[in-house]
Amino acid sequence: MLLSNFQLPCGIQLNNRIAKAALTERLSKKDHLPNQRHIRLYNHWAKNGAGLLISGNILVDKIHLEAAGNIVITKETPKESFRIWTKSVTNHGHHFWAQLNHAGRQTNIFNTLRPLAPSSVKLKKMGFFGLPKQMTDGQVQSTIDAFVHAVAFCQDVGFTGVQIHAAHGYLLSQFLSPRTNKRNDQWGGSIENRARILFEIVKQSRKVVGPSFPISVKINSADFQRGGFEEEDALFVIKRLEALDIDLLEVSGGTYEDLTFFTQKNLKASTIKREAYFLEFAKEVRKESRIPLMVTGGFRTKSLCEQVLKDGALDIIGFGRPFLLDESFPNGFVSGSLDKIEEVNIQAMSKQILDMAAGGFYDYQIARLADGLPLDLHFNSNLAAFRLIANELIKGVAYKM
Ligand SMILES: Cc1cc2nc3c(=O)[nH]c(=O)nc-3n(C[C@H](O)[C@H](O)[C@H](O)COP(=O)(O)O)c2cc1C
């Protein structure tokens, strides 16, 4: 099943059911463009057989970065380096989609002290995030334009599809969640209003790219926080996205306040044991909709992957960390030499920095692959957390000079 192909509603076919989910690369310099390290990293992955590679988040705004080393696409961005990158990856015969994002209030203080967000609700995490300013109606409209421009740009430079990031607590996910969206205009209140910005981006993007270019959306099944985005909201959004003809829905969960997909906090013990965190929600989606479904988070054994595909629980399996835990993944996995991806048990000197230690550990593995080096799974995770923060501080300041 893992190796069977899959046809998207737009008519395009994926070669197999394995997708590399977005993994932020943080490899750009001050110009925020793709470079040789991106090319090396994605050529490594492209050779290893996933039918779909989704880029790490590419930002549609120079200020609202997820990290200082992000790639950015704005109206001023030159196209040449993107063309070289996409050609080198798609030459291997698989799909390469760009994930587009705006960090909103999850932009750290090294990038801006006053980020824009749906409402002025501060993210509390070790003082790394400033008090956001509520976006004006005009700023919401220009954010929609920025996404639509980036979608058209991606089609023009040779990506074979796009994914709009509306998960993990970034701007579009902030609009979706009543915890972070306190507006009472057309962009807030009911779920219809909270999702309007996402629906507009998808609608306008489809008009620009035409019917046969894949558009995907990544959303949370839930934020896993009281008063946040709930499964019922997610199901409403999914049914509307289906009517808007998206090609692939990716389901994940959590925000910076609770990185569920990293830490598994707030998930039932039975869910963690079963390894694929968002599978139960996928079943609910299947009951209500026929939208092509990709589920990401926790898939580690081949037998489970085969089983869920056989059961029709989902269409595409998204993998993140397995690409950073085994250099042969997914080739070894499908050829039979590797039945299970072993996790690394990441420890940190304090609970507060555990997610930074994990983030830093995987970020270091990405940097190694980008430099043509083998993975180093013994890298000290406290050092990894320090490296992550130091990089943000140094690049955040240096790139503004
Ligand atoms: C280092 C790292 C970077 C990530 N960057 C992104 C990103 O840019 N966009 C995104 O949607 N998810 C991102 N994620 C989340 C993954 O796409 C995925 O949802 C998550 O890792 C769960 O899947 P897994 O259990 O297979 O790793 C990242 C995860 C890791 C480990």
Q: What is the CATH number of the domain that holds 220?
A: 3.20.20.70
Residue 400 lies inside a defined structural domain of this protein: no
In a domain, 12, yes or no: yes
**Residue identifier of the C-alpha nearest atom 21 of ligand 1:** 320
User: Around 94, how many Cα atoms within 13 Å sit in the side-chain half-sphere?
Assistant: 25
Query: Rounded to an integer, what distance in angstroms lies between the CA atom of residue 326 and that of residue 45?
Result: 11
Cα(320) to centroid(ligand 1), Å: 5
Sign of the torsion angle spanned by Cα atoms 34, 260, 181, 216: positive
Decide: 365 in ligand 1 pocket, CB within 6 A. Answer: no
Q: What is the pLDDT along the chain (401 residues), one digit of tens a residue?
A: 999 999 999 999 999 999 999 999 999 999 999 999 999 999 999 999 999 999 999 999 999 999 999 999 999 999 999 999 999 999 999 999 999 999 999 999 999 999 999 999 999 887 899 999 999 999 999 999 999 999 999 999 999 999 999 999 999 999 999 999 999 999 999 999 999 999 999 999 999 999 999 999 999 987 777 778 889 999 999 999 999 999 999 998 877 876 666 656 656 666 655 567 788 899 999 999 999 999 999 999 999 999 999 999 999 999 999 999 999 999 988 888 888 999 898 888 887 788 889 999 999 999 999 999 999 999 999 999 999 999 999 998 888 88
Cβ-based neighbours of 156, under 8 Å, separated by 6 or more: 79
> pTM of the full predicted structure?
0.96
> Phi/psi at 90 (nearest 5 deg)?
-70, -20
* 260-299 CB burial, b ≥16 within 10 A, e <16: bbbebeebeeebeeebbbbbbbbebbbeebebbbbbbbbb
Asked if the structure places residue 363 within a domain, the reply is: no
- Answer yes or no: is the C-beta of 26 below 6 A from any ligand 1 atom: no
Q: At 2, is the secondary structure helix, strand, or coil?
A: coil
Ligand 1: centre distance to CA 362 (Å)? 10
Token output for 58: 């590419």
Note whether residue 296 is domain-resident. Answer: yes
Residue range of the domain that includes 64: 6-346
User: What atom of ligand 1 comes closest to residue 300's alpha carbon?
Assistant: 26
- Report whether residue 169 contacts ligand 1, using a CB cutoff of 6 Å: no
In this structure, the residue with its CA closest to atom 5 of ligand 1 is 23
Q: How far apart are CA 173 and CA 102, in angstroms?
A: 10
Q: Is residue 207 part of a domain?
A: yes
Instruction: Provide φ and ψ at 113, rounded to 5°.
Output: -85, -25
Q: Does any domain span residue 248? A: yes
**Structural domains of the chain, count:** 1
Centre of ligand 1 to C-alpha 21, Å, is: 6
Judge whether 352 lies within some domain.
no
